[in-house]
Amino acid sequence: MKFLISIFTFIFSAALSAQTPKQTIVSPSIPKTAVAIASPVTAASAASKPKLVVGIVIDQMRYDYIYRYWDKFGNDGFKRLVNEGFFCRNTNYNYVPTYTGPGHTSIYTGTTPAVHGIIANDWYDKTTGKNLYCAEDENVKGVGTTAPEGKRSPVNMLTTTITDELHISSNMKSKIIGIALKDRSAILPAGHTANAAYWYDGSIGSFITSTYYMKELPLWVQEFNKKELPNKYLSQPWNTLLPIDQYTESVADDNKYEFIGKGETKPVFPHNLPELMKLNGGLNMIRSTPFGNSLTKDFAIEVIKNENMGKSSVTDFLAVSFSSPDYIGHAYGPNSVEQEDDYLRLDKDLAELLKFIDTQIGRNNTLIFLTADHAAPEVPAYLMDLKIPAGYVTENKIIDSLKKHLVKTYGDTLVLSFSNQQVFLNHKMIESKKLVLQQVQEDVAAFLLTMPSVAEVLTSATLNNSSFTEGSRYLMQKGFNAKRSGDVLVNYLPGWIDYMPTGTTHGSPYSYDTHVPLIFYGWNIKQGSSSEQVYITDVAATLSMMLNIQFPNGCTGKPISFLVK
* H-helix or E-strand spanning residue 437: helix 437-448
What DSSP string runs through 166-232? Answer: HHHHTTT-S-EEEE-SSHHHHHHHH-TT-SEEEEEETTTTEEEEETTT-SS--HHHHHHHHT-HHHH
Q: Compute CA distances 375 → 60, 221, 515, whole Å.
A: 5, 32, 7
Contact predicate 285/276, CB 8 Å: yes
Between the CA of residue 272 and those of 71, 250, 397, 427, what are the distances in Å? 28, 21, 38, 52
- φ and ψ of 110, to 5 deg: 75, 20
Terminal CA-CA length for the chain: 40
- 321 bridge partner residues: 57
100 catalytic per annotation: yes
- Secondary structure of residue 515 in the 3-state scheme: strand
* Catalytic member of 100, 145, 240, 296: 100
- 3-state SS class at 110: coil
Q: 421 by DSSP, 3-state: which?
A: coil
268 HSE (CA, 13 A, CB side): 9
Residues 6 or more apart in contact with residue 265 via CB below 8 angstroms: none
Closest to 368 (Cα-Cα) out of 60, 28, 147, 54: 54
Name the 3-class secondary structure at 528: strand
The residues, ordered by sequence, that sit 6+ positions from 400 with a Cβ below 8 Å of its Cβ are none
Query: Is-contact 528 549, C-beta < 8 A?
Result: no
Q: Which of 108, 309, 307, 310 is nearest to 192 (CA)?
A: 108
Rounded Cα gap, residues 295 and 284, in angstroms: 12
CA distances from 178 to 212, 218, 317 (A): 13, 15, 8
Closest to 421 measured CA to CA, from 446, 393, 389: 393
Q: Alpha-carbon distance 17 to 478, whole Å?
A: 28
Alpha carbon distance 21, 368 (integer Å): 16
Task: Please list the residues that pair with 201 across neighbouring strands.
Answer: 206
Strands (E) located in 334-387: 366-372
Decide if 66 contacts 78 (C-beta within 8 A).
yes
Active site positions, annotated = 100
